[in-house]
Every structure is written in C-alpha cells, then in structure tokens.
Amino acid sequence: VAELGTPTRSVITTCAYCGVGCSFKAEMNGDQLVRMVPYKHGKANRGHSCVKGRFAYGYAAHQDRILKPMIRERIEDPWQEVEWDEALAFAADRMRGIQAKHGRRSVGVITSSRCTNEETYLVQKLTRAVFGNNNTDTCARVCHSPTGYGLGKTFGTSAGTQDFDSVEHTDVVLIIGANPTDGHPVFASRLKKRLRQGAKLIVVDPRRTDIVRSAHVEAQYHLPLRPGTNVAVISAMAHVIVTEGLVDEAYIRDRCDWDEFQHYVEFITNPRHAPEANEALTGVRAADLRAAARMFATGGNGAIYYGLGVTEHSQGSTTVMAIANLAMLTGNIGRPGVGVNPLRGQNNVQGACDMGSFPHELPGYRHVKLPDVRAIFEREWGVAIDPEPGLRIPNMLDAAVEGTFKGLYCQGEDILQSDPDTHHVAAGLKAMECVIVHDLFLNETANYAHVFLPGSSFLEKDGTFTNAERRINRVRKVMAPRNGYEDWEVTQMLANALLKDSQGAKWHYTHPSQIMDEIASTTPSFAGVSYERLEELGSIQWPCDENAPEGTPLMHVNGFETGRGHFMITEYVATDEKAGPRFPLLLTTGRILSQYNVGAQTRRTENSVWHDQDVLEIHPHDAEVRGINDGDWVRLVSRAGETTLMVTLTERVAPGVVYTTFHHPATQANVVTTDFSDWATNCPEYKVTAVQVSASNCP
Ligand code: SF4
C-alpha cells in the first residue's frame, strides 16, 4: 500500500469469486488500485471477507493478460495479433461459413458464471437471435444444473429459499456435500457463530471437513458416507422421520400435494430404506443416522446447506429432490431460519442460470417449447426463436467428435481444464472448424482455438452478479478495460459482425443498464429490477415485481411460489463407477480456501504462496499397504487417464477414499475423472472415480 500511495477515491463493487457475493470498496489512487476493503454495509458480508476477495485481485494486472485479439488459420499455426475489426470479421466469416455448410445448429456458445448477468444474457441472445438455435450452455452444467432440475421439480423455483441473515434463527444446521470453510468462507463464519450460540450440527460428507473439526458443537453428527450414496443416506433419514411419526403433517396438508405425499410415504416406509438396511452400502452407522434424523426433525428450525458433493453425481438431481423432500416432511421451508440452500461455487452461477444459459430454457427458467414464452422474446428481438432445445456442453463435444458440431464461442470458461475426461474434451475441440475463446488469459482451451478475444476483469466492467441467496449486487467499473472493451461490448461487436450482411437488426446497447432494462421487461422475476432501484436499495433479491417491489429475502412464505410443493420418488440407484480389484479406491474432489476453481485467477496472485500444488489425501492404512509415505509422489490412475501427485497422509478421509483439489493444470485432476454424469442434467460425476494409487517418481 505504501508503494501505491494514499487512496484518493473508492468504488463499491462485488467480489468475483464465490457465491457469497461480498461487497468491497476498491480504494484507488488515480487509476491504480491500492487495496480492496470489505464494505461494512454489504448485505451479504457485513464488512467481512476472505483471502480470495481481499487479496487475490492482482491477476487483473498480471503480465499474462492478453490485451490484443489474435487469430490463426489452423491450431498448429502461431497466433497472429490483429485489430478488433479483423478478428471479429474472421470469427464471423468462419461461423457463418460453418452454418452455411453444416446447418444453423452446427455452432453454439458456452457462457460463464464468472461474467455478469448482462453479459450472460447477451451471449444467450447471440445464440438464439443471431445463430438461430438453442445451443447455449453454461458452466453450471458441471456444477449446479441438478439444483435447477431438482428444486424446479419439487418447489417450482430453481433457487435457494433462504437469505444468509436468517441463519441467525436456525436451530439445526444440516450440511450435505459442502465444505463452506473453504468454498464459502464468509458465510461459513456466520454458520460457525450460530453453532457457537448453540445450534446443532449434522454433516453428511465422506471427509471430515473443517466445520466438523472446528465447530466444537456438543450436539453434532458427522455421517461419513461412502462416495456415491447420498440418496441412500437422505432417504434413510426420511424413513426414520416418517416411520417414527416425526412428520409435520399440518404443513404438508397446507402447502404440498397430498396425493403425492401419500405416494411418497408408501415408498419411503419400505424397510429397504431403513438405516440398518443401508449400513453396509453407505458406511454410516445406523444408530448415528437415526439419531441425526430425529435431531433434524425435532430440534427446531432446520436449515439445509448443500454443495457440489450433492450435485456432481450420477444421481445429483435425485439427491436434490431427496433434500427437498426432507425439508417439506419437516415443515422446514418458508420462515426465518429454515430452508434449502444450494451453496453456489462461483460468483454468478445463480445469475447465469437465471439468464437462460440453458439449451432448453429462456431467461427466467421458461422452456423454449412454450410458444407464449418464445413470443415475448421474438417481439423484443424481432426474430423467430428455434422451438427445439439445443445441445448441452457434453452433447456439443460428442457431436463435434461425430462431425456434426463445428463451431464454438466460449466466453470465460476453460473447458479443457474444468470439464471431465480431458482427452474427450480435447478431441471435441480439435474436431471443430472454429473455436473462439474470449478470456483474460491464453488458457488450456485456447490451445485448440482459432480466434482469441481478450476479456475484461470484474474491475473493468459495469454490471450485476447474483449470489447464492438470489441477491443481485452491482459490479462497478473501477478502472478502464485494459483490453479496450468490456465483455458485453465484445459480444455486441461479434453479434454485429455476424449480422453485417443480413437484414437482422443490429445491436445498439450503450450501457449494461439498458440490458438490465431488457431483462426486466422480458423476465417476470426481474420485473422490478433496474440500476436506479439497485442504487436506491443497495441490492435486490429476486423475485422482485409489483408484489415484492423491494425483493424477496425468504421464498415460499405463504405457500410455494408456483402452487404446491411436490414430493418426488427418489430411488437409490448405484453409480456404474465402482471400486474393484483394478481400481480399489474411490477418488472425490473439492476446493481449498486460498484457490479458486481451475486457478486461472488465484494462481496469478500471491495466494499461490498458500497452495502451490494439488495434493492427494490418503488414509494412513491405504498408504501403508502400498508402501507410500507422507510427501511421496504417487501415480493416480483411473480408466479415463492418469496423473502424478504428492500425497499427504490423513485420517480426514476414511480408508478406501482419496481426495484431491483441482486448482493446478500441472496435475490435471480431470484427466482421471470419467464421463459418467447425472441422469437428468449431464452434470459430471466428479465426486466418484474409481482409482488406483501407487508409488511414483517426482515428475
Ligand atoms: Fe466473499 Fe466468497 Fe469473495 Fe471470499 S471469495 S470475499 S467469501 S465472495
């Protein structure tokens, strides 16, 4: 700070890392960012922050930033720096050429949960209004797409039901497949404070996460289930609650579909769901599971928090529905201190989903097959919208390998590093005739790109992010874009280059506030949102409309927003990814506090000091039988591929389970993850991979 001088002005903006959505004051000396100070009036963080938001912003000024557009004929050729006009014309010609030759559905886009709502809205509009298809998907495909499906089916709305503040009224905290200390640190502090005040804790996780170790709660249960058995554990909890008469029947009669509930009771009371019948399968002691279920049902206000340890499974969507069933059974939806809360990993996963970054849904989670919904956007955009749902990311890659999908615009995502089965992703990208990467850095995906469009960081743009509690926060431009343009401007320029010789109306947005006005006019849950209202209120939680002009902190207060709550049948089906003689261990993955996702940003900051490589956690018993010592290098092999990692011996993981993070490209954890995915949404099964571990030399 001393070197950078004394701040002379400050700008309030929002952290671009996790789904907590902390507000910061960016303190500036002229055009120089001096420091980020957590904003005490920020409604999501109230003056708190973690080491990512506070310190890991140096990547924006990093020398690796690419600031000029680049093109090349073939991926084997060297990159050639060109002016924006030339790059955009090159990209537009290639994409139009592909469509002319292979049909309008032969190209698509991938949006990013790191970009703003306005940018994401424009990218899906580009797909639908300019490319003329619905091949638009987002990185939520690989994280929270089962949340969208599961909560949509049960509650009618695809979002968390509570606000962060209301944890202060929670009596029993149930955390399933989430590690808030590392993934959502500021909210984890609030959870821990509530636990210190006496709230009870249940953690369902294969790993003894920090919150289990540090909460020091007397009434606490850690249910260390075997990876892949979430549905069996949650159904067993529901079985105990129903068979022991702990159901909140009045709540269900009042708010849920009664016939569906009775059907569910018939299903869940079957003895095959009893904890004792599942002990061998799940690895969870039946007595502990019974006690935890009783505590959840009778302990007062129960709130459920879950993360990717729920969604990234072949039964991710089923697990989300099982969680929703559990909340409805116990009447834990619709008042302060209770609810179901998907902890969103990235800053704007919620927003990317809200903005229609799905191949089957327009903004506001409305199916493209519905003519009256299409008509709203057809009027606004002046084009006919394809009624056929488009391709999801894995389908795009499969179709590319098969030769029917040829062009991709990928904004702010490094799919080669973040998506499962790296070899298959590479094969798909390599088979395409035009890959446009729009990003801050030459990422791994850019190895297969023909056009590189430089991106702008969150410090260089105006817009909004929506956090895990549906809170729309303003992102404010702190400094001019180093590459010359904000990302929404680049998408607009690409759209206009594509529309150059067509009759289609050109795009003329001059500020992201106009894009938000368009979102509000086409999307009912955003009807009352505008930049003026955001300035006035600080932030707004959707739905925001004439019934809730200041937004909606708690959802489903007077009954479910779209009618009645729906109990869904959630049968446990074992994943096909099984440990066996060749691959006897189960690998599961997660994050660490100082790093973020594939590390493209945090690795280019001083946060790397805290975590400079991914390591493999292994139980001492599993290490001993393999002759492995703490700090050794090992080969990690699955049927998809292999990598080399250093090990740490720990009892945080049970025998038979190993764990690693995925922040560093050198280790490429996704080389070993497989192509199994959620049955409903194709969300990859990152959390269960059968592997073998053996001693190796340092790579
Ligand atoms: Fe807040 Fe998450 Fe940013 Fe940390 S990473 S400062 S918890 S928004």
Closest ligand 1 atom to 187 CA: 7
By most ligand atoms within 8 Å of CB, the mutation choice from 22, 591, 594 for ligand 1 is 22
Contact 20, 466 (CB under 8 A): no
| 1 pLDDT above the threshold of 70 | no
Q: Which of 136, 41, 52, 189 is nearest to 413 (CA)?
A: 136
Atom in ligand 1 nearest the alpha carbon of residue 49: 6
- CA-based nearest residue to 126, from 396, 454, 498: 498
Give, using CA atoms, the residue closest to atom 6 of ligand 1. 53
Q: Can you give the pLDDT at residue 48? A: 93
Confidence label for 275 from pLDDT (cuts 50, 70 and 90): very high
Q: Is 19 in the pocket of ligand 1 (CB under 6 A)?
A: no
The finding on whether 17 has its CB within 6 A of some atom of ligand 1 is yes
Q: What are the tens digits of pLDDT across the range 480-537? A: 999 999 999 999 999 999 999 888 889 999 999 999 999 999 999 999 999 999 999 9
The single-letter DSSP state of residue 317 is H
Q: Does pLDDT of 252 surpass 80?
A: yes
**Tokens, residue 636:** 């990690």
Residue 18 CB less than 6 A away from ligand 1: yes
286-298 and 230-243 helices cross at what angle (nearest 10)?
Answer: 60
CATH 3.40.50.740 fits 70-140+364-462+480-541, yes or no: yes
Q: What is the pLDDT of residues 290-301, one digit of tens each?
A: 999 999 999 999
Encode pLDDT of 577-606 as tens digits: 999 999 999 999 887 666 776 667 777 777
DSSP line for 202-243:
EEE-SB--HHHHH---SSEEEE-PPTT-HHHHHHHHHHHHHH
Distance CA 39, CA 22 (A): 8
- For residue 9, give the amino acid letter: R
Does residue 190's CB lie within 6 angstroms of at least one atom of ligand 1? no
What is the model's pLDDT at position 216?
A: 61
Ligand 1 centroid – CA 184 distance (Å): 7
Distance 162 CA to ligand 1 centre (A): 19
pLDDT tens digits along 407-416: 999 999 888 8
Q: Which CATH class is domain 585-695?
A: mainly beta
Strands of 307-392, DSSP E: 339-342, 361-362, 366-367
273 lines ligand 1 (CB under 6 A): no
Partners of residue 589 on adjacent β-strands? 660
Residue spans of the domains in the chain: they are 70-140+364-462+480-541, 145-342, 585-695
422 in helix, strand or coil? helix
Please count the other Cβ atoms lying within 10 Å of the Cβ belonging to residue 6: 9
- The residue whose CA has the least distance to atom 2 of ligand 1 is 18
Q: For residue 221, is pLDDT > 70?
A: yes
> Which stretch of 342-351, 635-644, 686-695 has the lowest confidence by average pLDDT?
342-351
Please work out whether the CB of residue 22 comes within 6 Å of at least one atom of ligand 1.
Answer: yes
Residue 378, pLDDT score: 97
pLDDT in tens, 331-387: 999 999 999 999 887 889 899 999 999 999 999 999 999 999 999 999 999 999 999
What is the distance in A from the centroid of ligand 1 to the CA of 485? Answer: 26
Tokens 């032969």 identify what position? Answer: 106
Bridge partners of 342, per DSSP, are 306
In testing the pocket of ligand 1, which one of 46, 52, 467 has its CB within 8 Å of the most ligand atoms?
A: 52
Q: Burial, 669: exposed, middle or buried (Cβ in 10 Å; 0-12, 13-18, 19+)?
A: buried
Q: Which of 615, 613, 624 is nearest to 655 (CA)?
A: 624
Please tell me the distance from the alpha carbon of residue 202 to that of residue 205, in angstroms, as a whole number.
10
Question: Quick one: pLDDT band at residue 607, thresholds 50, 70, 90?
Answer: low
What are the tens digits of pLDDT across the range 352-366? 999 999 999 999 999
Q: Which atom of ligand 1 is nearest to the CA of 38?
A: 6
5 Cα–ligand 1 center, Å: 26
Question: Could you tell me which residues are beta bridge partners of residue 356?
Answer: none
CATH topology of domain 145-342: Dimethylsulfoxide Reductase; domain 2 (3.40.228)
Q: What is the pTM of this model?
A: 0.91
Which CA distances in Å does 116 have to 21, 347, 488?
A: 12, 9, 9
Confidence of residue 426 (pLDDT cuts 50, 70, 90): very high
The residue contributing the CA closest to ligand 1 atom 3 is 53
Q: 460-487, pLDDT tens digit by residue?
A: 999 999 999 999 999 999 999 999 999 9
pLDDT of residue 142: 75
